[in-house]
Structure 1
């Protein structure tokens, strides 16, 4: 590495510090360095193309993974991400995301693990270990304070010193110290007045106190200055080839405003990363284990089950007995269209998705009648045109004819695509072209009025036969708006009785554009809302069991936007209540990546929280409902009862600032204000058996060095084999230091047969007893250790003495 650095001149070094495109770094053949490929990957690895012809495995959302409270499972999923990465030529996965759930309104919570720094750090470290054991770099993000999306490019997050070190930076520290990640991403936002790509926090505590020796990469388009970023510890500005460095940095070095040693340090970090992933001649670190599709599907099914949280099970309503079922009504807007992932950079093209409807049909077979109605509609935006309703005018095959044209009008590319949601990022074809055309013969059954349109940024012209539907230059708000939340234009157009129409869409863009993307959409006329709901309620009344699948989608929960309400979209709450009134044997499946309000939770037989559970959703849900697997999840976040609680922090900046005035009291760590209690506390979750806490054994004094080991014995008092998460919290009632009400100190998993006892070891790290006061300090005295099922249910307690 040092010999390679010595052979590079100043221009070559500076060239390496900005990407060559959206996902790649520059190669330098003179020193044996190939380009590094980076890709989004918190819940699936996309690769360099967002293309239905190159799909990916869709993992459960990080909230679902955290709900398992199982670091070993997270490590296995990290290995799966590594296998996906290598199959797509990816060296660096941009994940895990370990920002905290400070507010339930944050639109990207589904992509983060938890409101608790210890749980987030443990799950993140395990994911990093799984990735890097296979020789693929993990990129821990977004350091730090990117806990919401509103004005994320410009907002200044004000965090006190204790809260920063004890809460928001804590998961990053845990991962750096225990898993040694090879890369870390600097966030868009500022913290305490300095944008994170220039922040002194990249030096201390990251590189100094914690000993991070990896590469610091900017979030995409986050690097804003030449000298400010160059004098700090940012190493790589993405994407490229344009950015704040390049010639401007070369001039600053020549003028002596940026020392050459700063450039050398950045290049050294890049070369170290390249060596670790095998991009600098040698094979690199880690070994990719054998990987088979069947193993992948089984792991993802297990992961979805493990993260499913049973929060209500009235009179043991679940599991269902398949032998006693003759008709099951599967209802709700998310029943037939599985919401397996959130929106934004975490989105991948799935290999397949198993909906709840599909999963129950497969599990119950022909002997049980499955009926279905969505009951309500929840999508406010235009859905992409399904390729099964479109045929290529050239070949007659299903799909869309896509043609790129150069500035002189010549044809650059002519191909058949099977998706009407199209995206090209720093693509070689786009570099040669200035326009793309999409053409298809569309047949919508029954004809009639349909809403037809386009979502995207730039110049668009859309026609249906000879009728112009859209002809407009649609403005964009920021570099990523055309990807995350593109503006939409549509017109209602009457289709003939046979539903046939030829759609032609032309999109013009500057030659060499970094991003080209849009959606061609069509929507059939709405069935009257009261009729849809009436049909769903009628099916429920005539069924042995009603399974209602409600939730959000990738538009409500997405990168780039925060939520304004926790209420389920549309009339889903009314649907649940009317179905439950018609059939008390109702189970509600909540398919949302983060908390939503459940005002009807006491009116139904059971409530299952599945998060965004990945591609095997339906199979995993059937396993849980029919008792083939026990729901293994426990809440990684407090689930609010309503929106009146002052604990529900705002994500809206005031004067460009969001002040973390709650200090240490994030989530369950804060004391309930004004009598507001959550619907379900942090750590809560039920299973299909019951547990008794028998005994706790702990040392009288906390050791000065090393972990404190606490032994907890539990007994399975229920009718079947089970798995249970034992949680340990600390409290300091009499303290000279302001503290949270309590805080998670450790957790472990118990597993036992009916009637059997088992003992688990809870390891409490020294940091669990420490607080930040210009350094880590431990206040001597007595700490109360609380053992139980959640932040609010403690069956055992004991006293631990420090000093």
Structure 2
């Protein structure tokens, strides 16, 4: 869905460019450099905000009082608009990635854009699309999954929604940012081909949707900090891709010298630590060019004026913040995000039947919304899993809860119950943004010495206490559902055969409990699909060291690595069960209007209405070069009544077949036979397909 900013990176407004010429001529060097930094963050953070991030909007670039130019006011994301005021808290991005629903994500962006404007935000840091190379990454919950195509489409949708309300969207963290603990120092080594094919295409896709700002990452790439990488910021982003907006650093440690301005960093946030006076001196001594300064100011003002002068199609006010429509949207998203991994005829529970449901684990009744880093939001309320069940169940259903610490008591409750539910997984203390020491302890006593929280996971298993609880409860009552709260993959080979059902419920947002109950009792069928691979053994995944100083990335990870190494996944990329069932017809190659497209009939063969995520993969098994065996190139969510048939169609562009040829520095297409596959997940889809040639794709 295009909006008035969709072509932001495609064309320039000649009249605006002439106006910018005049303004740049009027500005002094000191005024220009002032625009290239945020201001007043430390004053508030260490002052009245008592070291709590997100208590206000922050000045994040621009601003010239003499010329009447306001600063840009920033708020973070991505699970809502960060503010000390209660705002709508949506499920984390990984949960939304599991919906595979771009229209739904666009609506979330729309809600975030509305609430941002109501608070006074003009620059939103909500779009995180770093590729999940390894599920141990602490901030996995903030992105959409392991596949570049899925990341790009979901990120583009969020951008379109946010920017429809004249809020500048920032896409982050550019680039190759997927280790948390060593993020301030790690050097990621990657070939040009690996970057262009695996770690950068989703950024390009979001910019094609009109995204007007980019946040550089903390880490190094091939020896240069991202905020100092001329190759990333100028050669690729601004020159090759034609990006027209501005680049700002990640906060506090996103720049290490004034030379970052010459490399293409336009704004240092949140304060002029290395810009400011240092940058003025560097310009005066000829170390940084006047051209780089003028280009940065032009980009900042071009973006700001384009958005702030655009006509609003509505007014914004306090009544928009966490309004009823946004609360219902949060519930809808949670419902569509839950991934039913296993179901041996346990679910859905029959809501009209008297029963006792015994719930176990502290996470059943905890407001578990995700990490406490920059993405944290404060909701007006939270429905926990337990509260959701109690509200939905009638008087004829008895629900009891025990945290599981008293072994004999929990075993007795399990034996007496008709159904057991175990909530297992993690909290912000186990995974999330890594902020050393007390800085991660928002809201706690600043004088109390605390260990760091969040960060990368050192293993993919559940905590020992959770595995022990699952084993104990299932031994006494196999009619058990395990609800997993996590931001990415959890290995479960030691226990997945024990419960009757397993469901990923993520960090499900403020309406998560309501949504959980509606899915458990069958008011709505689960329809989420895994946006990553769950391996049988984490050794089947790429090497991952949270404390690495240097690491090399290659072409393979997730489903592409398992296919390359011929390893079987515990649950493959794209997997997810439903309360209904779907039949897929053969993939067909059809010519219409002079163009080739691929289609398949999908039939709801079950007894209830349900959504299905239809996935489209292209196979490269005939390739003469080293490349993945197949890649996701399309997906579509369809809603079907029992017996209903839908013809689901996918079109391709020749660029979908291309690889990056390092010798020529350009994209190339092999003259080989390719295959098209349509199915419910990355394994089932490959069971049948149709061949085609590159010259058939227009």
* Category of TM-score, reference length = shorter chain: 0.7 to 0.9
SS in 2 for 1:93: strand
Q: Distance in 2 between matches of 1:620 and 1:46?
A: 23
Alpha carbons of 1:675 and 1:742: their partners in 2 closer, same or farther (altered >3 Å)?
closer
What residue number does 1:248 align with?
278
What residue number does 2:502 align with?
607
Q: Which among 357, 365, 372 is matched to residue 343 of structure 1? A: 372
Alpha carbons of 1:108 and 1:545: their partners in 2 closer, same or farther (altered >3 Å)?
same
What residue number does 2:50 align with?
none
What residue number does 2:543 align with?
649
- Compare 765-774 and 129-138 and name the one that shifted more: 765-774
Report the alpha carbon displacement of residue 591 of structure 1 after superposing the two structures with TM: 1.1
Alpha carbons of 1:225 and 1:371: their partners in 2 closer, same or farther (altered >3 Å)?
closer
Q: Is contact 1:206–1:212 with CA below 8 Å preserved after alignment?
A: yes
Matched, 1:185 2:215: yes
Alpha carbons of 1:124 and 1:340: their partners in 2 closer, same or farther (altered >3 Å)?
same
Q: Which among 14, 31, 50 is matched to residue 12 of structure 1? A: 31
- Compare 221-230 and 69-78 and name the one that shifted more: 221-230
Report the alpha carbon displacement of residue 255 of structure 1 after superposing the two structures with TM: 2.4
Alpha carbons of 1:325 and 1:273: their partners in 2 closer, same or farther (altered >3 Å)?
farther
SS in 2 for 1:572: helix
Q: Distance in 2 between matches of 1:164 and 1:702?
A: 35
Q: Is contact 1:105–1:651 with CA below 8 Å preserved after alignment?
A: no
Q: Is contact 1:670–1:741 with CA below 8 Å preserved after alignment?
A: no
Report the alpha carbon displacement of residue 149 of structure 1 after superposing the two structures with TM: 0.9
Report the alpha carbon displacement of residue 221 of structure 1 after superposing the two structures with TM: 1.9
What residue number does 1:267 align with?
297
Query: CA offsets per residue over residues 653-694 of structure 1, 9 Å max, x none?
Result: 55x21111xx21121012457764221000000111111112
Matched, 1:797 2:689: yes
Q: Is contact 2:614–2:635 with CA below 8 Å preserved after alignment?
A: yes
Counterparts of 1:213-362 in structure 2, within 5 Å, are 213-240=244-271, 242-278=272-308, 282=309, 291=320, 293-314=323-344, 316-362=345-391
Q: Distance in 2 between matches of 1:564 and 1:286?
A: 48
SS in 2 for 1:620: helix
Q: Distance in 2 between matches of 1:792 and 1:239?
A: 45
What residue number does 1:628 align with?
523
What residue number does 1:754 align with?
642
Report the alpha carbon displacement of residue 34 of structure 1 after superposing the two structures with TM: 1.1
Counterparts of 1:348-747 in structure 2, within 5 Å, are 348-375=377-404, 529=405, 532-560=406-434, 561-598=455-492, 599-643=494-538, 645-652=539-546, 654=548, 656-660=549-553, 663-672=554-563, 676-699=567-590, 708-747=596-635
User: What is the number of residues matched between the two proteins?
Assistant: 630
Q: Distance in 1 between matches of 2:647 and 2:69?
A: 52
Report the alpha carbon displacement of residue 342 of structure 1 after superposing the two structures with TM: 2.3
Query: CA offsets per residue over residues 396-430 of structure 1, 9 Å max, x none?
Result: xxxxxxxxxxxxxxxxxxxxxxxxxxxxxxxxxxx
Q: Is contact 2:370–2:432 with CA below 8 Å preserved after alignment?
A: no
Report the alpha carbon displacement of residue 581 of structure 1 after superposing the two structures with TM: 1.5
Counterparts of 1:764-803 in structure 2, within 5 Å, are 764-773=652-661, 774-794=665-685, 795-803=687-695
Q: Is contact 1:647–1:673 with CA below 8 Å preserved after alignment?
A: no
Report the alpha carbon displacement of residue 201 of structure 1 after superposing the two structures with TM: 1.0
SS in 1 for 2:171: strand
What residue number does 2:148 align with?
117
Q: TM-score, normalised by structure 2?
A: 0.87
Q: Distance in 1 between matches of 2:360 and 2:217?
A: 40
Q: Is contact 1:150–1:651 with CA below 8 Å preserved after alignment?
A: no
Q: Distance in 2 between matches of 1:306 and 1:573?
A: 27
Alpha carbons of 1:781 and 1:700: their partners in 2 closer, same or farther (altered >3 Å)?
farther
Q: Distance in 2 between matches of 1:191 and 1:129?
A: 29
Report the alpha carbon displacement of residue 701 of structure 1 after superposing the two structures with TM: 12
Q: Is contact 1:341–1:554 with CA below 8 Å preserved after alignment?
A: yes
Report the alpha carbon displacement of residue 198 of structure 1 after superposing the two structures with TM: 1.2
Report the alpha carbon displacement of residue 251 of structure 1 after superposing the two structures with TM: 1.8
Q: Is contact 2:599–2:678 with CA below 8 Å preserved after alignment?
A: no
Matched, 1:66 2:117: no
Alpha carbons of 1:702 and 1:740: their partners in 2 closer, same or farther (altered >3 Å)?
farther
Query: CA offsets per residue over residues 675-728 of structure 1, 9 Å max, x none?
Result: 64221000000111111112332247998xxx8532221111111112111111
Q: Distance in 2 between matches of 1:224 and 1:92?
A: 20
Report the alpha carbon displacement of residue 763 of structure 1 after superposing the two structures with TM: 2.6
Determine which structure has more spread, i.e. the larger CA radius of gyration. Answer: 1
Q: TM-score, normalised by structure 1?
A: 0.76
Q: Is contact 1:132–1:286 with CA below 8 Å preserved after alignment?
A: no
Query: CA offsets per residue over residues 225-264 of structure 1, 9 Å max, x none?
Result: 4442121111100011x41111221122222322212111
Which 5+ residue runs of structure 1 have no aligned equivalent? 376-528
Report the alpha carbon displacement of residue 307 of structure 1 after superposing the two structures with TM: 0.7
Q: Is contact 2:535–2:541 with CA below 8 Å preserved after alignment?
A: no
Q: Distance in 2 between matches of 1:26 and 1:57?
A: 28
- Compare 608-617 and 758-767 and name the one that shifted more: 758-767
Query: CA offsets per residue over residues 175-232 of structure 1, 9 Å max, x none?
Result: 112x111110001111111111111211121111211111100001234344421211
Alpha carbons of 1:288 and 1:214: their partners in 2 closer, same or farther (altered >3 Å)?
farther
SS in 2 for 1:559: strand
Report the alpha carbon displacement of residue 791 of structure 1 after superposing the two structures with TM: 1.1
Q: Distance in 2 between matches of 1:184 and 1:577?
A: 46
- Compare 287-296 and 135-144 and name the one that shifted more: 287-296
Q: Is contact 2:259–2:288 with CA below 8 Å preserved after alignment?
A: no
Q: Is contact 2:458–2:546 with CA below 8 Å preserved after alignment?
A: no
CA RMSD of aligned residues (A): 2.0
Q: Which among 49, 62, 78 is matched to residue 42 of structure 1? A: 78
Report the alpha carbon displacement of residue 367 of structure 1 after superposing the two structures with TM: 2.7
SS in 1 for 2:675: strand
Q: Distance in 2 between matches of 1:610 and 1:683?
A: 16
Q: Distance in 2 between matches of 1:700 and 1:16?
A: 54
Report the alpha carbon displacement of residue 277 of structure 1 after superposing the two structures with TM: 3.6
Q: Flag the structure with higher helix content.
A: 2
Q: Distance in 2 between matches of 1:632 and 1:765?
A: 28
Report the alpha carbon displacement of residue 5 of structure 1 after superposing the two structures with TM: 2.6
Report the alpha carbon displacement of residue 326 of structure 1 after superposing the two structures with TM: 2.5
